[in-house]
Amino acid sequence: MKLNVELQIYLKEYSPNGAAKFDYELADGSSVMTLVDALGVPDELANIVIVEGESTDHAHKLKDGDHVILIPPLAGG
């Protein structure tokens, strides 16, 4: 399946092509965890996961065309 992935802030370091937003192929039935591992992002840095606008977790099963955002630990202020 093909995913549309967005890596926020410094997670961009793990982008396969250096861009923060990119398309990514993954085997059908993969979870967010599979994606995180495939990109080489340390688990704890993929701290907030948003799939299709919904906040979710690493076990979430992905489907073709999903927009996936990974966000590291942050602080605002």
Query: CA–CA separation, 63 vs 76, rounded Å?
Result: 32
First to last CA, the chain: 38
Select from 70, 23, 24, 25 the least CA-distant residue to 51. 70
Nearer to other proteins, 29 or 57 (CB): 57
Report the interface residues with other proteins, using CB under 8 A. 6, 8-10, 12, 20, 44-45, 47-48, 50, 53-55, 57-58, 69, 71-77
CB of 26 to other proteins, least distance (A): 20
Nearer to other proteins, 40 or 77 (CB): 77
